[in-house]
Structure 1
Amino acid sequence: MRIDLHAHSTVSDGTETPAELVGAAAEAGIDVLAITDHDSTSGWDDAGAAARRLGVALVPGMEVSCRTPEGISVHVLSYLHDPAHPGLLEEVTKARDARLSRAEHMVSLLAEDYPLSWDDVTRHVAPGATVGRPHIADALVAAGLVGDRTEAFATILSSRSRYFVQHYAPEPALAVSLIRAAGGVPVFAHPVASARGRTVGEPVYRAMIEAGLAGLEVYHRDNPEDRRPFLLGLAAENGLFVTGSSDYHGAGKPNRLGEFTTSAEALGEIERQGRGTAVVR
């Protein structure tokens, strides 16, 4: 069984609609797929309908954007939570709204030096999608200012760039506790992805574990191989399960569906712990 528990659609920063995402998974031979758009569950229904039609089991999920007080970005995957839970919904709505105002501010800064407008960016945002830096990157690519998203993030949109603007995001332990309150199963996404920027130290892991962290996404292309033993040891010491995922974004990133996968045992643990919704079969 091939299980990929981290994939994005046009609801956030992927390039395929939720239904197309499930179709791509079916073509890639994926048996179980999780849809995990940033701070949004609005793709669940369309993805679920496609999953039933195509015979792919779908794990409803979401990737919650977080930040430590020191400014380190952390992402927490939430599986099988209640999408209407007021506490979690309020927090992700606040973060999503902050992403919009942050994107507008970044574009206004970019427009001082580049031929780029807000309309140029919104052309790359699907209806109802969470606006983010990837959409700005797509606009930069379309304008011929960079070659692809990777170049955009390494240069103009880097966190070290003068155009970079922070946005509100909950602390990781708060996100974990809210996911648990919503009946969900929280997993720390790509925790040692140092190429993306600074990574957290042990106190953050401890706080997340105490708040109810269930698992660690160990097998991910952005986790350096020499750091994976640390994650495996931490999981073993604290009774956490481990996952492997592609973090697929369609044409938006080089990641391919199924390049890393999750065990059936870990999926079973997610289903055992999840109380907010169910896997679509």
Structure 2
Amino acid sequence: MSYKTDLHLHTYFSDGSMSPTDIVKRAKEMGYELISITDHDGVDGIPEATIAGKALGIKVIPGIELSTEDEQRISMHILGYDIDIDNPELLDKLKELKQKRKDRNDQLIEVLNKMGYAISMEDLRFTEGQSYIGKPIIARALLKKGYITDAKQAFESGKFLESPEAKAVKKDKISAEEAITLIKKAGGIAVLAHPMKIKKIGDRGTDQFYEELEKLIQKMKAFGLKGIECYHTDQTNQESLRLVELAEKYHLHITEGSDYHGPEFEKPHA
């Protein structure tokens, strides 16, 4: 039996623009039967989504997306599925990551202000009780203030959040090994998110890229990686097939996700 699934969705508890309930309603309208809420570095939206899922007859898997990097500062996102959202060790780490993200955001706002874009932390509050601020939220603030006409413009090469000054602002990240270990200890399954978006391993789609990606997958499997997000909206069919081949070679689960952040982003950025 096959289900229509989307295992990569973001709510306004991280950098999405929709509530968990509205995300579940959208999934129902689109005919999905199995979804996962995978907010960045947090699990606050999962209880609401679970309740909405039960009401609408959609299975909601508790998930998370953790930003990581290795010793060579290669950034990777690790998805965790079927996690215990009350796991103490996971919650302690999420609290630490929240503070690191706040420090990064303060620096980004300062950079944008120096570039002539008058944005304050108050401009980034879109929902009551919002505690997470990611780059797509900053993009929406730039749109709201009239500095751009489309949220995606904030991520154009060399401009705004992709300017050299903004890109120089780094957030301390945990290692891929630590992320996978945290997910495992919380009873979950770790999956490599959107592999084709990984930087610093060669030009996307080249032989070098796939060779370096395979090395990363080998290393992460040794840490406990259980799957690869082979199907993603930012990939071509050919790229997805190459990822399926890697997943099969290393006996890893094959997952699919839209990485949906809201209607403002056709190709959302993490």
Class of the TM-score when normalised by the shorter of the 2 chains: 0.7 to 0.9
In terms of mean alpha carbon deviation, does 69-78 or 31-40 score higher? 69-78
Within a 5 Å distance, the mapping from 1:186-205 to structure 2 comes to 186-193=190-197, 197-199=199-201, 201-205=213-217
Within a 5 Å distance, the mapping from 1:44-193 to structure 2 comes to 44-124=46-126, 127-154=129-156, 155-158=159-162, 160-164=163-167, 165-193=169-197
* Distance in 2, Cα, partners of 1:54 & 1:171: 37
Unaligned 5+ runs, structure 2: 202-211
1:180-234 superposed Cα distances (whole Å, 9 cap, x missing partner):
121101111101125xx44564332222101111110011122344433432222
Q: CA deviation at 1:23?
A: 0.9
CA contact 1:80–1:184 (8 Å) conserved in 2? yes
In terms of mean alpha carbon deviation, does 67-76 or 27-36 score higher? 67-76
Q: Give the aligned partner of residue 209 of structure 2.
A: none
Identify the match of residue 239 of structure 1 among 245, 248, 251: 251
Matched, 1:209 2:221: yes
Q: Give the aligned partner of residue 208 of structure 2.
A: none
Q: CA deviation at 1:127?
A: 1.9
Q: Which runs of 4+ in 1 moved over 4 A?
A: none
* Distance in 2, Cα, partners of 1:229 & 1:119: 42
Q: CA deviation at 1:109?
A: 1.5
CA contact 2:214–2:246 (8 Å) conserved in 1? no
The TM-score normalised by the length of structure 2 is: 0.86
* Counterpart secondary structure, 1:6: strand
* Distance in 2, Cα, partners of 1:212 & 1:125: 36
| More RCO (CA 8 Å, sep 6+) | 1
Q: Give the aligned partner of residue 228 of structure 1.
A: 240
The TM-score normalised by the length of structure 1 is: 0.83
Q: Give the aligned partner of residue 266 of structure 1.
A: none
1:144-190 superposed Cα distances (whole Å, 9 cap, x missing partner):
212222110122101x5212311011111221122112110111110
Amino acid at match of 2:219: A
In terms of mean alpha carbon deviation, does 86-95 or 208-217 score higher? 86-95
* Counterpart secondary structure, 2:65: strand
Q: CA deviation at 1:123?
A: 2.7
* Counterpart secondary structure, 1:5: strand
* Distance in 2, Cα, partners of 1:167 & 1:255: 22
Unaligned 5+ runs, structure 1: 257-281
* Distance in 2, Cα, partners of 1:94 & 1:206: 28
Q: CA deviation at 1:126?
A: 5.1
1:92-135 superposed Cα distances (whole Å, 9 cap, x missing partner):
32222211110111101111122423245323365243211111
Amino acid at match of 1:15: S
Within a 5 Å distance, the mapping from 1:247-258 to structure 2 comes to 247-254=259-266
- Identical amino acids, percent of aligned pairs: 32
CA contact 2:4–2:33 (8 Å) conserved in 1? yes
* Counterpart secondary structure, 1:96: helix
Alignment root-mean-square deviation, CA: 2.0
Identify the match of residue 32 of structure 1 among 27, 31, 34: 34
